[in-house]
Amino acid sequence: MNTAAVLETQSGIMVDGKFPLLQKLGSSAHSEIYLTELPDQRSQKTVIKLFATDNTERLISRLEAVAQLSHPHLLRIFHVGRCEVNSKPRVYVVMEYADEDLSQILPSRPLTPAETEEMLRAAVDVLAFLHEKGFVHRHLKPSNILAVSDRLKISSDGIQPAGEPDDRFEELGVYDAPETGSEPISVAADVWSLGITLVAALNQQPPVWDRVAKTPPAISDSIPEPFQQIIQECLRFDPGERCTLAQIKARLEPAPTPNPFKKSRTGPLVLAQVALIAIVALMWFVGHRGSSAKKSQTPAKQGTTAVVARPASEADTQQPVANNPRGGVVQGAVVDRIMPNVSRNARNTIEGKIHVNVGVEVDAAGAVSAATLERSGPSKYFARMALESARQWKFQPAQVNGKPVPSKWILRYRFGRSETEVSPSETAP
């Protein structure tokens, strides 16, 4: 990479003859950030960060290594180089432009538990990727959790190989682990920073703690689970006692639904009663679907799937519903599901699964009258795809005492690289 002076042009200062300094976005004692543009993609917003350092070669080597990393939740680095400003050496890095960061949101409101979970899942995913590659982030905090278009990303210019001495410019702060500065940087330090960031996201400010006196962070009892337990396990002074990223991910997974038929100790009589209930429910279900199908058969749309109502519950079979279809409550069913039309380029950005939940209100005719995001996920694009899809679904309306009534549903979308899955469930009546 050739050294080039900062050139003065008619439009302003030009770095390396390629990157104009269009607008100053921020600065610190050791760096300045400007809006710039790529020579071959002038429509794409990018930023350039200029570092003042005495260890130019080491910084360039580190940034070039980080630039080779690629992850959907990691801010992209486009170019790394050196230049001169007022005859003084500078290192520059050109990166993606972020629309906003978490520190700009928290002064006005905390994150909701759903937003916190989405943020946490993305952070755990990208940190696990970095640790696997032999790097640590070492600067995780709200100002480095960014929104790039509709995707959450974390900053990349401070990433460093694990096990090396910390070469940061800034003084240690509340987000830095207790061992930072006295020991080589490790993955456990990122876990500490993640715990402090979680508190800040939910309480709008980080917890108070004393590095010298080793006073543990004060965690509010108002923080809900599973975040309360995750934070407690992240913020242990001994790095070896902190939880791992895999354990954090496991805490976010819902507990498995108990199987009432597995290793049952209720005895043959109860099992026989359950079997009898299931037979009665199946007989009613077959008869009900057969009669309703004759009345409401319509040609299936191309690309849609009909979803039948689930069998009556045990409580339903205890009512005279089978002999009197107008008695009690009959749950609705999905008639037509319209799947999101996701582009291949968008699917290629997915790592794992993107979860989006949409709540829909269904009128007495079976049409969606309203759709709202219950869980938006990390991507505005996939949230919009789910909303547009949900508004087009058709339902067989629920019935109360034989009359169709409005109902409410939750549609749980799971976007993957190869397919989209949707799990509908009726919540009312």
In tens, the pLDDT along 320-363 reads: 333 344 457 888 999 999 999 888 877 877 878 899 999 999 99
Distance CA 203, CA 287 (A): 55
Q: Do residues 136 and 146 make contact, with C-beta atoms less than 8 angstroms apart?
A: no
Q: What is the DSSP letter of 253?
A: S
Mean model confidence pLDDT for the chain: 81
Domain ranges in the chain with CATH number 3.30.200.20:
4-96
Q: Which two tokens stand for residue 59?
A: 């910084």
Q: Strand 77-85 vs strand 4-5: parallel, antiparallel, or unpaired?
A: parallel
User: Taking 80 as the threshold, does the pLDDT of residue 104 lie above it?
Assistant: yes
CATH class of the domain comprising 100-252:
mainly alpha
The helix or strand, by DSSP H or E, that contains position 272, with its residue range, turns out to be: helix 268-296
102-121 mean pLDDT: 93
Domain ranges in the chain with CATH number 1.10.510.10:
100-252
Distance CA 6, CA 254 (A): 55
pLDDT at residue 29, as a whole number: 78
The helix or strand, by DSSP H or E, that contains position 386, with its residue range, turns out to be: helix 380-390
In tens, the pLDDT along 214-227 reads: 888 989 999 999 99
The per-residue DSSP string of 116-163 comes to HHHHHHHHHHHHHHHHHTTEE----SGGGEEEETTEEEE--TT-EETT
pLDDT band at 185 (very low <50, low <70, confident <90, very high): confident
pLDDT at residue 261, as a whole number: 44
232-249 mean pLDDT: 95
172 compared with 265, residue with greater pLDDT? 172
Domain ranges in the chain with CATH number 3.30.2420.10:
304-318+326-428
Residues in contact with 168: Cβ distance below 8 Å, sequence separation at least 6, in sequence order:
138, 139, 158
**Residue among 211, 230, 214 at smallest CA distance from 120:** 230
- Helices then strands, each counted (H, E), the chain: 10, 24
pLDDT band at 371 (very low <50, low <70, confident <90, very high): very high
Distance CA 212, CA 162 (A): 24
Residues in contact with 344: Cβ distance below 8 Å, sequence separation at least 6, in sequence order:
none
Q: Do residues 203 and 223 make contact, with C-beta atoms less than 8 angstroms apart?
A: yes
Total residues found in the chain within this entry? 429
CATH class of the domain comprising 4-96:
alpha beta
Q: What is the DSSP letter of 310?
A: P
89-108 mean pLDDT: 92
The helix or strand, by DSSP H or E, that contains position 94, with its residue range, turns out to be: strand 88-96
DSSP E strand boundaries for 288-406: 304-305, 329-330, 333-338, 354-362, 368-375, 394-396, 398-400, 403-405
**Residue among 340, 339, 288, 327 at smallest CA distance from 309:** 288
Q: Do residues 292 and 397 make contact, with C-beta atoms less than 8 angstroms apart?
A: no
CATH architecture under which domain 304-318+326-428 falls: 2-Layer Sandwich (3.30)
pLDDT band at 413 (very low <50, low <70, confident <90, very high): very high
User: Taking 50 as the threshold, does the pLDDT of residue 139 lie above it?
Assistant: yes
Distance CA 94, CA 76 (A): 9
